[in-house]
Amino acid sequence: MSDLSRREMFLKVALAFNGVIGVVLGVPIVRYLVSPVTRGRKPGYESWISLGEINQFPSGETRLATYRHPLANASDGETADIACWVRHMEGDKFQVFAINCAHLGCPVRWFPQSGLFMCPCHGGAYYSDGARASGPPERGLFEYPFKIVGGKLHIQAGEMPTPGVSPPTAASALIQINAYSSFGDAVRLDKRSPCA
């Protein structure tokens, strides 16, 4: 073996060595980058969050409620304060709607006189029960599962609802629900779309 070809072989070995190290370093880098996705699967972002006493939501009215995201940290500031619409029909019948329009996520506003939620961005409108009334949304408002524990209204929330396919853990928050549960009862899921 000539001196030159020996050095060429050394170069190849050195490059291969760097390649292996590159792959070894690449694994933690990729895992770090995709952690927002993988983390969503394992412990899950969803949890039960209290919106406060049920008596602040008078029967027959729809009111704005806010909660602090349970996973919030100091740098989140006010962005971790999430709003939602609570509709109290009667007794323990509630509906809790995400603030985000089912079209592209803008904040919908409730107009009690006309009984409509209206979106300021692209003109979506929904009836008082969250069903689509008009405009670009293809479905009704996103609804959170709820339960009443010790006189307080709790909702299962965590991820910003979006119109696309829902991740496994957030499935319950992203489908339309007729959840008329009382204390301790399991929430009844009804996958019927109100758009139909």
What is the smallest separation between the CB atom of 129 and another protein, expressed in angstroms?
A: 10
Whats the size of the chain, residue-wise? Answer: 196
Candidates 48, 63, 93, 166; binder of another protein (CB under 8 A) is 166
Residue 145 binding another protein, by CB under 8 A: no
Q: Which residue in this structure is represented by tokens 């319950």?
A: 172
- For the beta sheet containing 143-144, the strands, ordered from the edge strand earlier in sequence to the opposite edge, are 61-68, 81-90, 93-98, 143-144
Q: Which of residues 19-78 bind another protein (CB under 8 A)?
A: 33-34, 36-37, 40, 45, 64, 66, 69, 71-78
Asked if 127 contacts 121 with a C-beta cutoff of 8 angstroms, the reply is no
Q: Which residues contact 116 (CB under 8 A, 6 or more apart)?
A: 110, 125, 126, 127, 128, 133
By the 8 A CB rule, do 118 and 109 touch?
yes
Taken in order 69, 76, 27, 171, the sign of the CA dihedral is: positive
Nearer to another protein, 127 or 180 (CB): 127
Please identify, among the stretches 12-20, 55-63, 114-122, 177-185, the one whose residues bind another protein according to the rule CB under 8 A.
114-122
Interacting span for another protein (CB under 8 A) from 1-9, 23-31, 81-89, 176-184: 81-89
Residues of this chain that interact with another protein (CB under 8 A) are 33-34, 36-37, 40, 45, 64, 66, 69, 71-83, 99-100, 103-109, 111, 113-116, 118-123, 125, 127-128, 133-138, 158-160, 162-167, 170
